[in-house]
Amino acid sequence: MARCLIGCGSNLGRRRQQLDRAIELMRFMPGVTLVGVSRFRETVPVGGPSGQEAFLNGACLIETDLPPQEVLSMLTAVENTLHRNREERWGPRTVDLDLLLYDDIVLDTDCLTLPHPRMSTRRFVLEPCVEIAGKAVHPLAACTLDEMLASISAPRPHVAVVGVPASGVADVARAVSESSLGCFVAAPRPLPAAAASAPEWCGTLSAWRAAMDEIDCDASAHGIVSDFWMETLMIAARQSLPEEPLSRLETQFVRAVAELPAPHALLVLVAPVTKLAADAWQARLQESLITAVRDPEYRSPLKAKAIVFIDATDPRRAATDALAAVEAMV
């Protein structure tokens, strides 16, 4: 029997009654055993159209012998029974049921992504999940859900927005900073080009590290938003530098980041393949960056526990999605 965490929400009609009804419908589904249900919390809508009513959010834990796709179909059937409307992205809904975790399965298809791709910065998801399954492990972050919640609960969190140059990182990071009243930290030097010399890579490392040391935020800032992540430098260097200068850079990197805390959240902008078609180096770098961030075995003291991937095809929508991910941390 697999253990599944399911996020539950409602902001239309009789919210509590609809959530209770959804849970009862799941309880009596063949092949499903209801293990636990969290308390419901009233939360402010994040993202989506303005003017929505507040949500009631919670979570439930089930055991099932159904495969992931059939669990998703079961949840969709319950939503349909309760007249869920799907015409508007992140719009108001009578009930919303999200499959968050299915044991330790990692899956990415057109219909289903596991773990849920936006759960790690959503306080309204993590708090009820921690109440009933705090020691459940997020298979990509390789940490427990209570550790993930603690990470996004820092008083002044650092959110790093990362991606290849073509993904529009700087513009998105600045937009998030301005909208969320964060302290913006820009990379003082761009990521070196593929053909850059070893001294250029070392100089960029020193400049980026100095920028993290020199952060001077106004007391009113709610947090830090940077348009670079120190680890990106090493991921890129491993594709570009010969063995000997790479080894020297890695030694310098380890010393440079020894006392630097990891970001509390990482927003990874993913540029469309068509946009990278003419730049093989950026295409390889994006693939390596995504692989590193998604690999629970990738060891780095700078790897965040909360990670969200954002489609950067449309710059305006990417900024909106990034802001929603940050607002959900509050």
Active site residue ranges:
84, 93, 96, 98
Distance CA 126, CA 123 (A): 5
HSE at residue 109, side-chain half, CA atoms within 13 A, is 7
Could you tell me if 95 and 18 are in contact, meaning their C-beta atoms sit under 8 angstroms apart? Answer: yes
Q: Which amino acid is at 227?
A: D
Give the count of beta carbons closer than 10 Å to the beta carbon of residue 224. Answer: 20
Q: Kindly list the distances between the CA atom of residue 25 and the CA atoms of 7, 43, 77, in Å, as whole numbers in the listed order.
A: 15, 24, 10
Give the count of beta carbons closer than 10 Å to the beta carbon of residue 225. Answer: 31
Helix (H, G, I), strand (E, B) or coil at 144: strand
Distance CA 314, CA 151 (A): 29
35: closest CA among 128, 137, 132, 130? Answer: 132
The DSSP H or E segment spanning 283 is helix 280-294
Phi-psi region of 207 (alpha: psi -120 to 50; beta: other; left: phi over 0): alpha
Phi, psi of 235 (to 5 degrees): -60, -40
Which residues have CB under 8 Å from 201's CB, separation 6+?
Answer: 192, 233, 237, 240, 241, 245, 249
- DSSP E strands in the chain: the ranges are 2-10, 32-37, 41-43, 55-64, 96-102, 107-108, 113-114, 137-138, 143-144, 158-162, 183-185, 224-226, 265-270, 306-311
Q: Which amino acid is at 246?
A: L
